[in-house]
């Protein structure tokens, strides 16, 4: 594992990978607690699988952008370390599975040779910043949001304020009011806007805050109708600082940002965000619009001979998978990738076609598909034939037949029943029995293996999530059926409503019942959600109720899709929320480590970063002493309050006037060098005194 160190040019990245290698070794040797190790590896994109002894590795692709060279690198990595399969995710990442933990540092080092990172792809961090895949070529966009998504990714990667939050944090940038990046279901969602000021066009964003899916989905609230572009990064920083301090940390089921808003209210959250303004690293952050995000275009070349075997398929493909870009003469081409899985061989075979007849930039979509840009109109027939040879020219992008799904029980610890094989079955039902629906983009079907909505079932017009039903002494694999969700546009959306559970093998019948009823009874031009609203939830419950009857079960109902043996629920402990760290010694060690990072930041004159490392050292130290006293706290703010009650009020630590006043100097001072020095000196002294106090307490107990 040593050879990779000479191949990495970025010393920060090299240190990250060396640290992962060292922590794996310490974990193997029993020197590092499992919970602490989980937290570290998750923040480096290494996620435990359902299968013991192997890992899923999540490759972070900011706003879904991947070049052909990067795709070749990822394909090679999958062959060498994984199974030769690339899984496209709803957050525009690529995942590979069945990776040995010990090989992950070497894998990461090889990815970094083509500027691909694993950092903060999982864990309690800012996850991949997503964006509309059409950004830059969308005919309806006010401007290209790619530079803003890229700047957000780079600004918060390794940023001290978001390395160990109570839960994950998700952001998106939509290219237009169509909101194809789903602002309404993100912690922060941005929709581009322009307005005229003093005769000039000014850029900004409509900002949505506090949305999310999961087991309890919530629609985002409006934060700003128009936030100037230079205020985007400072606003995000303020929000993250508030979430870090006040967010829940004990009950991870209540630790997302949406729950903090529900608890204290949007008005109070915004007040706290404004309170952080003086301490921000940047009060105005100009996005460098001089950077050209237009991808490298292919040289004009002669189109080779080709033969279209199926003209009808080609014409349907043109209607459903191709659109004209805002750049004249060019088209965007969507590649429909069933269940988001593409083999490394197919990915490699795709690269020459992209390099010759498309821009050198592929985008992963939120629906687990791919988008090619800048395909010349006259090249479309040839491109179709080559894609068809690769199995990537199936019509029906973003239609009823384009179902989103997560890996479910294939690899995920939290999966309850199968989601991938049922997806294939449902897509076949649509193509074979309802071929006209391949043109319908109004009705979206989404499937998750559990209630956590990784397959986005919580926002589907027709959604399913994995579940189970008890039948006597046996358990039946089941699907929870949901209806009526969807994207409305401009930051608005709908949450799907739960109806009932049915045995998984009856999923295709649910689909038939719903589609047949809709086709038979809808009014002229009535879209599905309007029909659902008109008929009402109970109407659909009664419609589907016969399918929930367990008195008519057959032996086949007890076997899940894609399996041969009888269903046995086996839910593990999920890691997508990260872990809680409750060891006193570990917390004190962390405080010391954070002060070391603060010292490094001071040397590099990154005073804001140094101050925040000092703040987290204060918090870790106080939490350790409270935990030693069996006082448990559910947020950083409560740690500060409880420390004052249990230690300062008791005279153990004589802070004047109190601990809160000292620690929260962080949001009352500009991040200057003088303040940073003073603050860090106090944090270091507190850690020394706390360590001495704990040592004395333990010695007294021993005596």
Q: CATH number for the domain including 256?
A: 3.30.413.10
Closest CA to 336 of 430, 246, 250: 430
Percent of the chain with pLDDT over 70: 96
Torsion angle of C-alpha atoms 264, 270, 272, 277, degrees rounded to 10: 170
In-domain check, residue 183: yes
Q: Do residues 621 and 681 both lie within one domain? A: yes
Phi first, then psi: what are they for 664, rounded to 5°?
A: -80, 10
Domain assignment present for 294: no
164 and 274 together in one domain: yes
Positive or negative torsion for Cα 99, 102, 108, 113: negative
Question: How confident is the model over 126-151, as pLDDT tens digits?
Answer: 999 999 999 999 999 999 999 999 99
Place of tokens 């919530």: 218
* SS3 category, 163: coil
CATH of the domain at 332: 3.30.70.3340
Q: Model confidence at 124, in pLDDT bands (50, 70, 90)?
A: very high
**Residues 275 and 344 reside in one and the same domain:** no
Cβ atoms < 10 Å from Cβ of 559:
17
248 and 137 in a common domain: yes
User: What pLDDT is recorded for position 268?
Assistant: 98
Domain boundary among 51, 85, 112: 112
What CA–CA distance (Å, rounded) separates 356 from 536? 52
pLDDT at 44 over 70: yes
Beta-carbon contacts of residue 50 (< 8 Å; ≥ 6 apart): 409, 410, 411, 412, 413, 415, 570, 572
pLDDT, one tens digit per residue, over 641-693 is: 999 999 999 999 999 899 999 999 999 999 999 999 999 999 999 999 999 99
Span of 251-255, 330-334, 591-595 with lowest mean pLDDT: 251-255
Domain boundary among the residues 389, 417, 452 is at: 389
Q: Is the pLDDT of residue 538 over 60?
A: yes
433 and 545 belong to one structural domain: yes
Decide which of 215 and 501 is more confident: 501
What is the pLDDT at residue 361?
95
Mean pLDDT over 110-134 rounds to 95
pLDDT of residue 257: 97
Would 176 be classed as within a structural domain? yes
Domain ranges, residue 441: 404-558
pLDDT band at 571 (very low <50, low <70, confident <90, very high): low
Among positive and negative, which fits the CA dihedral 370, 372, 373, 376? negative
Give the chain's mean pLDDT: 93
Q: How deeply is 538 buried, as exposed, middle or buried, from its count of CB atoms within 10 A (0-12, 13-18, 19+)?
A: exposed
- Measured in residues, the chain has a length of 703
Residues 501 and 622 reside in one and the same domain: no
DSSP 8-state secondary structure symbol assigned to residue 1:
-
User: Is 304 contained in some domain?
Assistant: no
Residue 53's pLDDT is what? 86
Total Cβ atoms within 10 A of residue 104: 23
The pLDDT value recorded for residue 570 is 60
Per-residue confidence at 215, pLDDT binned at 50, 70, 90? confident
What backbone phi and psi angles, to 5 degrees, belong to 321? -120, 0
Q: Is the pLDDT of residue 465 over 80?
A: yes
648: β partners: none
Q: Are residues 164 and 100 in the same domain?
A: no
Q: Do residue 59 and residue 146 come from a single domain?
A: no
* Residues contacting 106, CB < 8 A, separation 6+: 1, 4
Q: Are residues 200 and 263 in the same domain?
A: yes
Of 34-48, 246-260, 325-339, 426-440, the least confident: 34-48
Q: What total of structural domains would you count in the chain? A: 5
pLDDT the model gives residue 7: 64
Q: For residues 152 and 282, give the distance between their C-alpha atoms in angstroms, rounded to a whole number.
A: 13
Q: pLDDT digits over 470-520, tens only? A: 998 899 999 999 999 999 999 999 999 999 999 999 999 999 999 999 999
pLDDT of residue 675: 97
Picking from 389, 424, 440, the residue at the C-terminal end of a domain is 389
Residues 552 and 410 in one domain: yes
For residue 630, tell me if it sits in a domain. yes
The answer on pLDDT for 90 being more than 70 is: yes
pLDDT at 583 over 70: no
- DSSP-assigned letters across all residues of 526-588: --HHHHHHHH-HHHHHHHHGGGG-GGG--GGGGS-TT-SSPP--------TT------HHHHH
| Residue 395 within a domain | no
CATH code at 649? 1.20.120.330
Q: Of all helices (H) and strands (E), which one includes residue 207?
A: strand 200-209
Q: Is residue 22 part of a domain?
A: yes
Q: Are 163 and 113 in contact (CB under 8 A)?
A: no
Residues 505 and 457 reside in one and the same domain: yes
Instruction: Tell me: pLDDT of 40 over 70.
Output: yes
For range 77-102, the mean pLDDT: 97
Which pLDDT value is given to residue 587?
A: 86
Please check whether residues 273 and 147 belong to one and the same domain. Answer: yes
Query: For residue 695, what pLDDT band results from cuts at 50, 70 and 90?
Result: confident
pLDDT in tens, 453-462: 999 999 999 9
Domain at 8, CATH number: 3.90.480.20
In a domain, 382, yes or no: yes
Nearest residue to 427 (alpha-carbon basis) of 457, 394, 450, 385: 394
């Amino acid at each position: 594992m040593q050879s990779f160190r000479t191949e990495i040019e970025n010393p920060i990245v090299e240190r990250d990978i060396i640290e992962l290698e060292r922590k794996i070794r310490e974990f193997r040797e029993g020197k590092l607690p499992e919970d602490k190790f989980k937290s570290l590896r998750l923040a480096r994109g290494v996620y435990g699988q359902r299968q013991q002894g192997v890992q899923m590795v999540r490759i972070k692709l900011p706003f879904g952008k991947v070049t052909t060279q990067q795709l070749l690198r990822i394909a090679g990595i999958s062959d060498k370390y994984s199974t030769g399969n690339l899984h496209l995710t709803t957050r525009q990442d690529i995942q590979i599975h069945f990776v040995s933990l010990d090989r992950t540092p070497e894998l990461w080092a090889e990815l970094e040779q083509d500027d691909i990172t694993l950092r903060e792809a999982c864990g309690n961090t800012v996850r991949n910043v997503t964006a509309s895949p059409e950004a830059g070529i969308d005919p309806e966009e006010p401007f290209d949001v790619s530079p803003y998504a890229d700047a957000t990714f780079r600004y918060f990667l390794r940023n001290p304020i978001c390395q160990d939050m109570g839960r994950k944090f998700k952001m998106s940038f939509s290219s237009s009011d169509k909101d194809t990046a789903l602002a309404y279901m993100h912690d922060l969602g941005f929709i581009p806007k322009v307005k005229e000021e003093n005769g000039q066009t000014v850029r900004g964003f409509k900002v949505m805050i506090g949305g999310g899916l999961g087991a309890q989905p919530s629609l985002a609230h409006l934060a700003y109708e128009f936030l100037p572009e230079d205020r985007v990064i400072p606003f995000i920083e303020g929000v993250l600082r508030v979430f870090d301090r006040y967010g829940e940390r004990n009950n991870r089921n209540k630790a997302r940002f949406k729950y903090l808003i529900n608890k204290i209210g949007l008005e109070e959250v915004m007040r706290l965000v404004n309170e952080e303004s003086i301490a921000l690293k940047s009060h105005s952050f100009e996005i460098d619009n001089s950077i050209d995000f237009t991808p490298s275009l292919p040289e004009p070349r002669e189109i080779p001979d080709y033969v279209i075997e199926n003209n009808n398929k080609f014409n349907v493909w043109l209607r459903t998978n191709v659109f004209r870009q805002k750049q004249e003469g060019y088209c965007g081409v969507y590649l429909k990738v069933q269940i988001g899985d593409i083999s490394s061989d197919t990915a490699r075979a795709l690269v020459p076609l992209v390099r010759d007849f498309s821009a050198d930039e592929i985008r992963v979509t939120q629906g687990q598909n791919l988008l090619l840009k800048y395909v010349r109109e006259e090249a479309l027939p040839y491109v179709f034939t080559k894609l068809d040879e690769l199995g990537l020219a199936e019509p029906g992008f973003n239609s009823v037949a384009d179902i989103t799904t997560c890996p479910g029980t294939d690899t995920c610890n939290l999966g309850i029943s199968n989601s991938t094989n049922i997806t294939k079955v449902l897509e076949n039902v649509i193509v074979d029995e309802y071929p006209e629906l391949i043109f319908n983009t109004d009705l979206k079907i989404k499937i998750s293996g559990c209630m956590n909505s990784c397959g986005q079932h919580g926002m589907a017009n027709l959604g399913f999530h994995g579940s189970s039903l008890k039948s006597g002494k046996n358990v039946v694999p089941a699907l929870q059926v949901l209806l009526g969700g969807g994207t409305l546009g401009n930051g608005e959306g709908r949450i799907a409503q739960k109806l009932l559970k049915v045995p998984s093998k009856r999923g295709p019948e649910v689909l038939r019942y719903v589609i047949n009823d809709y086709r038979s009874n809808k009014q002229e031009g009535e879209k599905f959600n309007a029909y659902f609203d008109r008929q009402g939830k109970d109407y659909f419950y009664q419609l589907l109720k016969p399918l929930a009857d367990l008195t008519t079960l057959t032996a086949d109902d007890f076997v899940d899709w894609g399996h041969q043996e009888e269903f046995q629920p086996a839910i593990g402990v999920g890691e997508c929320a990260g872990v809680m760290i409750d060891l006193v010694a570990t917390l004190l060690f962390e405080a010391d480590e954070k002060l070391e990072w603060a010292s490094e930041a001071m040397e590099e004159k990154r005073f804001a970063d140094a101050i925040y490392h000092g703040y987290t050292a204060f918090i870790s130290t106080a939490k350790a002493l409270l935990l030693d006293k069996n006082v448990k706290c559910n947020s950083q703010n409560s740690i500060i309050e409880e420390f004052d009650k249990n230690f300062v009020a008791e005279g153990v630590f004589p802070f004047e006037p109190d601990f809160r006043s000292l620690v929260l100097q962080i949001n009352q001072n500009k991040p200057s060098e003088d303040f940073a020095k003073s603050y860090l000196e106090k944090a270091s002294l507190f850690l020394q005194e706390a360590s001495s106090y704990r040592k004395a307490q333990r010695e007294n107990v021993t005596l």
